[in-house]
Amino acid sequence: MNRLLPLDPFAPIFQPLVGQRVGIVDGYGNTGDRIVDAAARHLMRQFGIRWQTINPLADPPGSFALDVILLAGGGSMGGPRECVLHREAGLAWGLPCIVLPQSFHAPEDCRLFARVYVREPGSLEVYPQGILAPDLALGFEWPDVPAAQHDRGVFLSRGGHNLFSDRGLFDPAPICYTPQDYINHVAAYRHVVTDRLHLCITALGLDRKATLLPVAYHKNRSMWLTWLRDLGCLWADTPEAA
């Protein structure tokens, strides 16, 4: 198993939770969110943290004896509405709520959260009170995989904040759901070119060549400059340039 970053960069998030009863709320979204959910649990195991998965939209406040709630990491600060509703329902428990590393693509009222972690400096321009920490997928344990069968795959988002949906290329996210789905898909290629952040991180985790493309806000470029460039990831402004 391979982790892109050591445990030390994640310690400021998880070390203070040791000895506490932690509830964790999973993210709403695509396969990348499932990788973040799985990585959060792996990291909590590494730090010796006890946790209980909760769904604040279904579990009434007080359903479990908890000290603190972790709200899913990802890229959803400022929307979509489903993510905002999860966070609002978590706050309704009346416990300290910690937002795991996120990207802000629009402002959001964060006054009631105990801490808000952001995964790249571009989001600090939207929310200066955020605490910089890695995307949890950089702490995911990636398996060894067989040799690649194909040279290069170009995979472009068809939803969200995409810039290149008019290229008509394949987007694996709608047909992948689990981390293993992304692993199986990426493992077949020696080089992955994508604007899907967690597809790119998957490629890096599987020791594949990876080129990240921009989306319509700062997230991908800021992530690349802060974390991924040092992990060997390449950057291109367009699919053609890659």
Which pLDDT band holds residue 165 (cuts at 50, 70, 90)? confident
Tokens standing for 146?
């067989």
Lowest mean pLDDT across 89-98, 167-176, 178-187: 167-176
pLDDT digits 0-9 by tens, 57-83: 999 999 999 999 999 998 789 988 999
Instruction: In whole angstroms, give the CA distance from residue 241 to residue 62.
Output: 53
Q: Which helix (H) or strand (E) holds 23?
A: strand 21-25
For position 79, what pLDDT does the model report? Answer: 82
pLDDT digits 0-9 by tens, 4-44: 999 999 999 999 999 999 999 998 989 999 999 999 999 99
For position 161, what pLDDT does the model report? Answer: 85
What is the 3-state secondary structure of 89-113? HHHCCCCCEEEEEECECCCCCCCCC
pLDDT value at 231 more than 80: yes
Which DSSP string do the residues of 128-151 spell out, in sequence order?
TT-EE---GGGG--BPP-PPPSEE
Which pLDDT band holds residue 160 (cuts at 50, 70, 90)? confident
Instruction: In whole angstroms, give the CA distance from residue 56 to residue 38.
Output: 19
pLDDT value at 158 more than 90: no
Residue pair 133/9 in contact (Cβ under 8 Å)? The answer is yes
Question: How many percent of the chain have pLDDT more than 70?
Answer: 100
**Which amino acid is residue 160, in one-letter code?**
G
Residue pair 212/224 in contact (Cβ under 8 Å)? The answer is yes
Which pLDDT band holds residue 148 (cuts at 50, 70, 90)? very high
For position 25, what pLDDT does the model report? Answer: 97
